[in-house]
Structure 1
Amino acid sequence: MSSPDATKDRLIEAAGREFAEKGYDSARIRTICERAGANLAAVNYHFGDKQGLYRTVLTEAYRRRSTTVTPDLGDLPPAEKLRRFIRFFVEQVVVGEDDGEWRLPLILRELFDPTPALDDVIDGWIRPRFELLGSILREIRPGVDERRLAALCFSVVGQCIVHRITMKVSGRLLGPGNPGCLDADYLSDHVADFTLAALGLGPPAGMGGPARE
């Protein structure tokens, strides 16, 4: 007989796949329970209801994707803090996990078609990173207004996220002979170089800097 914790774990795995494949509205608790080898009452026992299950699964997706919420940047110069943050963000959010896992597809589905559970991950994961990035950019541009600061933050994040969203397309554009050419090292260096150049803290993009060739 399975322990309660084992049943809960199986439900999270089964629900993760169901929600990632079908979205919250189309996912069915009965199907999740069948996939998990659990009875319907187990969902209510462990999670309260479908929404509670979904919130748990979405939070678990973020927890497993990320080893920590924010990096420790210490007393580094602002430009190096930005470079380290971008590297952290690329490694934690952009690269990896394409072989049938449910966590990243679920996260992306939630971002494009949000449910009330998005507030949980915004408060626990997204906002702390956004505020840290904002504080770094504030050091670099102390006189900027709040709207411009937000736009700068989204510009940095957007450069990273676009590589995740278009990864399958870029793989076909670049061809099978170039696997991994836009890996974490290259992408993080490129985004950092590009951003620092735009902020006046580096040479024009493509004209030098630490991006790997």
Structure 2
Amino acid sequence: MQAAAHPLPLPHQARKQRADGAEARGQLLLAALRLFAEKGFAKTSIRDIAQAAGANVAAIRYYFGDKAGLYRTVFTEALGTPLCDDVARYQAVHLSLRQALEALMADFLAPMKQSELAQQLTRLNFREMLEPTGLWAEQIDSGVFPAHTALVEVLRRHLSIPQADDDVHRLAFSIHGLAMQMFVTRDAIEAVRPQLIATPQAIDLWAARLADFAEAMVVAEQARRQPRALEKKTQA
């Protein structure tokens, strides 16, 4: 009986092939992230990416289809867990305000523990805003909007108001802004006070401090609303 021309790999061979494939795909994603962040989508070629990753163009087509498919994968996968997937960690009704804010800040700052990756992600996002391909608009719809809506609901609940108004939305944007500024001003932080973000422990401490600041903002908003609440009760 004639042997098969392409015998099935042994189990350990199959595992090695899967591991090699995952590593090759990962190398392509990292190379693409760096080049897309530095040069933008239009000025980056798939040949440049393949060369930087030590792969061939056929590998990009195999894993991602084309340059647009690779860019979309970089933009979505490199960001880590989508913002909307983190919502459950801080939206749960049983959480105190402090617990919700701690979970929010810890999740938001987690990418900063990968120093170079965090910088490239920030640059990629700015590139996409300045030279839009449509993915940032999708990210707003699929990630930013659900995350913002979830935080608004958390704040509404802890402020004990029946419906979120413009000030609650302002507060939610401001709280998210506390964490976002760390990505935007990372270079300045490293120049002025590098130890503040030098280690994962330092970033965890900063996340805890941001939870402190955010909680103080909520308390200030609550105090601002109290005179109005008392006035309404008096008028009633």
Please report the TM-score for the alignment, with normalisation by the length of structure 1: 0.71
Q: Going by fraction, where is helix more abundant, 1 or 2?
A: 2
- Which of 186, 189, 207 is the matching residue for 1:167? 186
AA of the residue aligned to 1:118:
W
Match in the other structure for 1:210: none
DSSP 3-state at the match of 1:13: helix
Match in the other structure for 1:199: 221
- Which of 170, 182, 185 is the matching residue for 1:151? 170
Count of paired positions: 196
- Which of 161, 174, 189 is the matching residue for 2:211? 189
- Asked whether the equivalents of residues 61 and 106 of structure 1 are also in contact (C-alpha less than 8 Å), the reply is no
Deviation at 1:126, TM superposition (A): 2.6
Looking at structure 2, the residues matched to 88 and 75 of structure 1 have their Cα atoms a distance apart, in angstroms, of 18
TM-aligned CA distance change 1:96 to 1:112, over 3 Å: farther
Gaps spanning 5+ residues in structure 1: where? 203-213
TM-aligned CA distance change 1:99 to 1:62, over 3 Å: closer
Range with bigger deviation, 151-160 or 111-120: 111-120
- Asked whether the equivalents of residues 130 and 153 of structure 1 are also in contact (C-alpha less than 8 Å), the reply is yes
- Asked whether the equivalents of residues 105 and 179 of structure 2 are also in contact (C-alpha less than 8 Å), the reply is no
AA of the residue aligned to 1:196:
V
Deviation at 1:13, TM superposition (A): 2.1
Is 1:138–2:156 an aligned residue pair? yes
Looking at structure 2, the residues matched to 123 and 81 of structure 1 have their Cα atoms a distance apart, in angstroms, of 26
Match in the other structure for 1:209: none
Please report the TM-score for the alignment, with normalisation by the length of structure 2: 0.66
AA of the residue aligned to 1:121:
Q
Deviation at 1:137, TM superposition (A): 1.7
AA of the residue aligned to 2:65:
G
TM-aligned CA distance change 1:90 to 1:48, over 3 Å: closer
Root-mean-square deviation over aligned CA pairs: 3.3
Looking at structure 2, the residues matched to 100 and 29 of structure 1 have their Cα atoms a distance apart, in angstroms, of 20
TM-aligned CA distance change 1:104 to 1:165, over 3 Å: closer
Deviation at 1:54, TM superposition (A): 0.3
Match in the other structure for 2:110: 92
Deviation at 1:7, TM superposition (A): 3.7
TM-aligned CA distance change 1:130 to 1:89, over 3 Å: farther
Deviation at 1:64, TM superposition (A): 6.3
Deviation at 1:100, TM superposition (A): 6.1
Looking at structure 1, the residues matched to 170 and 216 of structure 2 have their Cα atoms a distance apart, in angstroms, of 16
Looking at structure 1, the residues matched to 110 and 87 of structure 2 have their Cα atoms a distance apart, in angstroms, of 10
Gaps spanning 5+ residues in structure 2: where? 1-16, 225-236
Looking at structure 1, the residues matched to 114 and 39 of structure 2 have their Cα atoms a distance apart, in angstroms, of 19
AA of the residue aligned to 1:36:
A
Match in the other structure for 1:116: 134
